[in-house]
Structure 1
Amino acid sequence: MNRLDLTADPVDLCAALVDVPSVSGDEVALADAVEAALRAQAPHLEVLRSGDAVLARTNLGRPSRVVLAGHLDTVPIADNVPSRRDGDLLYGCGTSDMKSGDAVFLHLAATIAEPRHDVTLVLYELEEVEAVRNGLGRLEREHRDWLAADLALLGEPTNSGVEAGCQGTLRVEITTHGRRAHSARSWLGRNAVHGAGAVLDRLNAYTARDVDIDGCVYREGLQAVKIAGGVAGNVVPDECVVTVNFRFAPDRDAAAAEKHVREVFDGFAVVLTDLSPGALPGLTAPAAREFIAATGATPSAKYGWTDVSRFAALGIPAVNYGPGDPNLAHTREEHVDTRQITEATAVLRRFLG
């Protein structure tokens, strides 16, 4: 079994985590190593293994509790394991998304035996795949009490800034219909691909909102992300499907977002294929205010969807905070500036106390 030293410098711990491959669906070796390390090196923590998720918590009776949450899995490896160092940069699959955040959380959970807040560590599997398989969703169903908290910190890469809440996302398919004919006698048919132009016209004319919530500005976007149509090189197509993605501010709930998209495309056949609600910033909660003060950062809106939405749906304020550049996530050249790992560890140690 791979052995992890949770008391080591979190930079070294991050490298050790990266060196244990954990592509989505194959997290067992890393989960085993994390569980064994927590049981051996953190006797002050209650530890739970659930599937390939590992959870640990203090039970000190503090008046508040903070969840430190991160996923153990990565996207497929791109010849970037094992890790390697180049000055202040640590390269490897998952260095940014999000084993650097996991390393910070693991180190602090293991080395702070008397935190100011009770702490729950939640490291879960299958985040990088379809939402129905997400380990955090399973934990919500099977171990809801382990997720209860006054604040949840998700260690997604934010360049050690605070990104509050997240956008919601939905996808719809809009189908236009025509009449099939031989392209040499096109007047006998009606081209469904041409008909999709009216859908694109509405998208081109659309004006997206900017929404300020708790000082965080969320920018919405409505975009065509795929067009599928055509039968053969000599056939007028009789069907075309335009896939549209709506990224919406968290002041809209899921139903309101769907209603808005259907209004934009009134008169067209619209089929909803995917929908995940956003998360409000929740920055007015006492634990969140204390955390913001500890970071000294000015929170910004999270562009994109993260698992903070799952905590928000449970009524738990949640923010994204972790080392690493999100723009490097999933790339062959993925890396993290190790100074951000050190900084995030110091900030969270001050906050947790």
Structure 2
Amino acid sequence: MGLDLRADPIALTAALVDIPSESRHEQLIADEIEAALRAQAPWFEVIRNGDAVLARTHLGRSSRVMLAGHIDTVPAAENLPSHIADGELWGCGTSDMKSGDAVFLHLAATITEPSHDITLVMYDCEEIESSANGLGRIERELPDWLTADVAILGEPSGGYIEAGCQGTIRVVVSAAGTRAHSARSWLGDNAIHKLGAVLDRLTAYEPRSVDIDGCVYREGLSAVRIDGGIAGNVIPDAASVTVNFRFAPDRSVEQAVAHVHEVFDGLDVSIVLTDAAAGALPGLAKPAAAALVAAAGGAVRAKYGWTDVSRFAA
């Protein structure tokens, strides 16, 4: 028995959860979603891209809204099949994000005359490394499918519209010294001690808060890893701190990197960028987005963290 897209969204969520769909193993759930859309929402053009299912209307509306949700989950941890306890639905991927997928699929099958043209993107491999993300493949192979006036990503948000997202970079801040035996420590130069100044800068750092379209993005600069040391009796000649900067979307990646260099200016360290992802502006001034906010009663706030919404804003 296939998916019933017109069923109560809670029941549809449970049905989606009960189809195992760990990252890289989404073929079965993609097959089920594709078949259901073709049978129950014939006004959509439906195509397949790997283990992603894409559908869109061609109603000639003046604007297009994209509804996007990933169909993979992290590995199950003895939390399948789904079940209801104390009025709550439990199961692997229930909130992230089979419930969002269920709402989007239900809308696709039940609203035959939407105010906007609709694009539905159900994609694979979101929960693993960014290079495997199905949206990246779709962007390369089917870029026209990602064109819309506003994109809604079905990540859990506590019932709020969480607009835009922060950008993120990681850098490794390294200090060099001279190795020596700890019994004659004065003959060496302790690289770990040099990192004390780096940690002092991080401790004293005052993060910026930025209001964009009524959403306040608070930045953060944090040490997330320390590496150093050779043996219990050796003065280390190398040590490093990995620093993560979560920045407001009014900064570009290049501006964020420059800011981190400013923070550690004057210290005897090297800085190497190891990971970067741009943020996304909220874009709430656009008519389709403003209409969404109004429909939600103004329940909107900034998205803290990075999400795939940034890919749609690029």
**TM-score normalised to structure 2 length:** 0.97
The one-letter code sitting in structure 2 at the alignment partner of 1:244 is V
- Superposed CA deviations along residues 276-328 of structure 1, whole A, max 9, x for unmatched, are 11111100000011111111133111100111111111xxxxxxxxxxxxxxx
SS at the partner of 1:67? Answer: strand
Specify the alignment match of 2:114 in structure 1: 115
Aligned to 2:156: 157
| Equivalent in the alignment of 1:205 | 204
Identity of aligned residues (%): 67
1:144-175: per-residue Cα shift (whole Å, max 9, x none)? 11111111111110112111111000000011
Q: State the alpha-carbon separation in 1 of the partners of residues 195 and 227 from structure 2.
A: 10
- Structure 2: any 5+ residue segments left out of the alignment? none
Q: Distance in 2 between matches of 1:296 and 1:137?
A: 33
Q: What secondary structure does 1:227 align onto?
A: strand
User: 2: distance between equivalents of 1:208 and 1:163?
Assistant: 21
For 1:126-205, list aligned pairs within 5 A: 126-205=125-204
What's the TM-score, normalizing by structure 1?
A: 0.86
Q: Deviations over 1:194-237 (max 9, x none)?
A: 11111101111111101111111100000000001111122111
- CA positional deviation for 1:125: 0.7
Instruction: Write the distance in 2 (CA, Å) between the matches of 1:126 and 1:297.
Output: 32
SS at match of 2:11: helix
Superposition pairs of residues 1-353 of structure 1, within 5 angstroms: 3-266=2-265, 267=267, 268-313=269-314
Q: Following the alignment from structure 1 to structure 2, what is the Cα–Cα distance between the partners of residues 32 and 285?
A: 35
Q: Distance in 2 between matches of 1:5 and 1:99?
A: 14
Local SS of the residue matching 2:74: coil
Stretches of 4+ aligned residues off by more than 4 angstroms:
none
Output the amino acid matched with 1:186: S
* Relative contact order higher in (CA < 8 Å, ≥ 6 apart): 1
- 1:46 to partner: Cα distance: 0.7
Q: What RMSD over aligned residues (CA atoms) do the two structures have, in Å?
A: 1.1
Q: Give the drift of 1:136.
A: 0.9
Which deviates further from its counterpart, 220-229 or 71-80? 71-80
CA distance in 1, matches of 2:30, 2:240: 42
1:88 Cα deviation (Å)?
Answer: 2.1
- Mapped to 2, the partners of 1:174 and 1:166 lie a distance apart of 25
- Cα-to-partner distance string for 1:67-87 (whole Å, 9 max, x where unaligned): 000111111111111111013
Offset at residue 41 of structure 1 (A): 1.7
- Name the SS for the 2:172 alignment partner: strand
Provide the rounded CA distance (Å) in 1 between the counterparts of 2:24 and 2:120: 21
Aligned length: 312
